[in-house]
Structure 1
Amino acid sequence: MATSRHSRRLLRTTTAAVFAATALLVSGCSPGGGQAAPDAAASPGRAHDAGAEHATPDDASSVLAPLPPGIPAKLRPYYDQKLSWHACGVSGFECATMKAPLDYGKPGTGTDIKLAVARKKATGPGARIGSLMVNPGGPGGSAIDYLQQYAPQPAAVRARYDMVAMDPRGVARSSPVQCLSNKQMDRFTQTDQTPDSAAEVNTLTTAYRDFSKGCEARSGKLLGHVSTIEAARDMDMLRALLGDKKLTYVGASYGTFLGATYAGLYPGRTGRLVLDGAMDPALDSRTVNINQTAGFNTAFTAFATDCIKRKDCPLGNKSAEDAGRNLSAFFKKLDAHPVATGEARKLTESLATTGVIAAMYDEGSWPTLRQYLAQAQKGNGRGLLTLSDSYYERDAAGRYANQMYANPAVNCLDLPPAFTTAGQVRAAAPAFRKASPVFGEAFAWAALNCAYWPVKPTADAHRIEAKGAAPIVVVGTTRDPATPYTWAKSLARQLSSATLLTYEGDGHTAYGRGSDCIDTAINTYLLEGTAPPKNKRCT
Structure 2
Amino acid sequence: MLPRLRLSVLAAALCSAALVLSACSQAAPPAPAPPTPTPTPAELNRFYDQVPQWGACADYATSAQAQQAYANQAFDCFSLTVPLDYSAPAGPTAKVGVLRQRATGPDRIGSLLFNPGGPGASGMETVASLAPGLAEAPLGQRFDLVGFDPRGVGSSTPTLDCLNDPEWEVERADLDVDPSPAGVQQTEAENQHYAQLCTERSGGPQVLANAGTRDVVRDLDILRAVLGDQKLSYLGFSYGTRIGSSYAEAFPGNVRALVLDGALDPKQSTIDRVVAQNAGFQHAFDAYAADCARQPNCPLGTDPAQATARFQALTRPLIDAPARAEGGARTLAYPDAITGVIQGLYLSEFWPVISAGLSTLASGDGTTLLQLADIYYNREPNGHYGNGIEAFNAISCVDEERITDRAQQAELIRRANEAAPFRDDGRGVVAALDPCAFWPSPPTSQPHVPQVQGLPPTLVISTTGDPATPYQAGVDLAQSLGGSLLTFEGNQHTVALRGVTCVDDAVTRYLVDLSVPPPGIVCRPA
Per the normalisation by structure 2, the TM-score is: 0.88
Following TM superposition, by how much is the alpha carbon of 1:189 offset from its aligned partner in structure 2, in angstroms? Answer: 1.5
Q: Please, which of 371, 374, 377 is the counterpart of residue 389 of structure 1?
A: 374
Structure 1 pair 205–330 and aligned structure 2 pair: CA distance change class (3 A): farther
Deviations 1:72-121 (A, max 9, x none): 21111111111111122222111111111111111123x11111111110
SS of the equivalent of 1:180 reads: coil
Corresponding residue for 2:200?
217
In the alignment, which of 309, 328, 331 is matched to residue 325 of structure 1? 309
CA deviations 1:157-215 (Å, max 9, x no partner) are 11110011111101111111111111111111221144354444334323322221110
Matching residue of 1:28: 12
Q: Distance in 2 between matches of 1:337 and 1:26?
A: 27
Equivalent residue for 2:63? none
Pick aligned residue for 1:202 from 185, 191, 195: 185
Conserved 8 A contact 2:332-2:366: yes
Q: Which structure shows the bigger proportion of residues in helix conformation?
A: 2
CA distance in 2, matches of 1:402, 1:518: 32
Which of 56, 59, 77 is the matching residue for 1:95? 77
- Give the match's secondary structure for 1:476: strand
- The yes-or-no answer on 1:493 pairing with 2:492 is no
Q: Give the aligned partner of residue 257 of structure 2.
A: 272
Is 1:171 the counterpart of 2:153? The answer is yes
User: Residues 351-430 of structure 1 correspond to what in structure 2 (within 5 A)?
Assistant: 351-417=336-402, 419-430=403-414
Q: Distance in 1 between matches of 2:474 and 2:284?
A: 16
How many angstroms apart in 2 are the aligned matches of 1:96 and 1:364? 36
Cα deviation for residue 217 of structure 1 reads: 1.2
Secondary structure in 2 matching 1:330: helix
Contact 1:297 1:438 (C-alpha < 8 Å) held by counterparts: yes
Contact 1:130 1:162 (C-alpha < 8 Å) held by counterparts: yes
- Give the whole-Å Cα distance in 2 for the aligned partners of 1:247 and 1:447: 39
- Aligned-partner Cα distance in 2 for 1:330–1:27: 27
Residue from 84, 87, 100 that aligns with 1:105:
87
What one-letter code is carried by the residue in structure 2 that aligns with 1:170? G
Q: Distance in 1 between matches of 2:221 and 2:196?
A: 32
Change (3 A) 1:429 1:24: closer
Cα offsets for 1:223-281 (capped at 9, x unmatched)? 11111010001000010011111100100000011011111111111111100011111
Which whole-Å CA distance do the structure 1 matches of 2:407 and 2:493 have between them? 32
Contact 2:263 2:474 in 1 (8 A): yes
Q: 2:172 aligns with which of 184, 189, 192?
A: 189
**Equivalent in the alignment of 1:15:** 3
CA contact (8 A) 2:405 2:433 kept: no
Query: For 1:232 and 1:328, how far apart are their aligned partners in 2?
Result: 42
Alpha-carbon separation, structure 2, partners of 1:254 and 1:283:
14
What displacement does 1:156 show? Answer: 2.1
Displacement, 1:218? 0.8
The corresponding residue for 2:42 is 73
Structure 1 residues 511 and 167, CA, compared in 2 at 3 Å: closer, same or farther? same
Q: SS of the counterpart of 1:346? A: strand
Alignment-derived partner of residue 121 in structure 1: 102
Aligned residue in 2 for 1:10: none
Corresponding residue for residue 39 of structure 1: none
Letter in 1 for 2:398: L
Q: CA deviation at 1:52?
A: 2.5
* Structure 2 residue 453 is matched with structure 1 residue 471: no
The count of residues paired between Structure 1 and Structure 2 equals 488
- Residue 296 of structure 1 is matched in structure 2 by 281
Residue 5 of structure 1 aligns with which residue?
A: none
Change (3 A) 1:303 1:194: farther
Report the equivalent of 1:313. Answer: 298
Runs of 4+ in 1 over 6 A off after TM superposition: 441-447
Could you list the per-position Cα deviations for residues 380-432 of structure 1 after superposition, in whole angstroms to 9, with x for gaps in the alignment?
00111000011000111111101111111110001222x32444333333322
> Aligned equivalents of 1:218 and 1:455: distance in 2?
15
Matched, 1:82 2:82: no
Contact kept? 1:277, 1:488, Cα under 8 Å: yes
The whole-number CA distance in structure 1 between the counterparts of 2:365 and 2:290 is 25
Sort the Cα spacing of 1:444 and 1:267 in 2 relative to 1 into closer, same or farther, 3 A: farther
Identity across the alignment (%): 37
Q: Post-superposition shift, 1:326?
A: 0.9
Take 2:411 and 2:116, find their aligned partners in 1: how far apart are those partners?
35
- Which residue number corresponds to residue 33 of structure 1? none
Amino acid at match of 1:346: T
Structure 1 residue runs without a partner (length 5+): 1-12, 31-45, 54-66
- What corresponds to 2:415 in structure 1? 431
2:484 is matched by which residue type in structure 1?
T
Question: Measured at CA, do residues 327 and 535 of structure 1 come closer, stay the same or move farther in structure 2, by a change above 3 Å?
Answer: same
Residue type matched to 1:306 in 2?
A: D
Residue 123 (structure 2) aligned to one of 143, 159, 163: 143
Q: TM-score, normalised by structure 1?
A: 0.86
> Contact (CA 8 Å) 1:503, 1:538: kept in 2 or not?
yes
What letter corresponds to residue 505 of structure 1 in structure 2? G
Q: 5+ unaligned residues in a row in structure 2: which ranges?
A: 15-29, 58-69
Match of 1:40? none
Query: What CA distance in whole angstroms lies between the structure 2 residues aligned with 1:460 and 1:441?
Result: 31
Give the 3-state SS of the residue equivalent to 1:506 in structure 2: coil
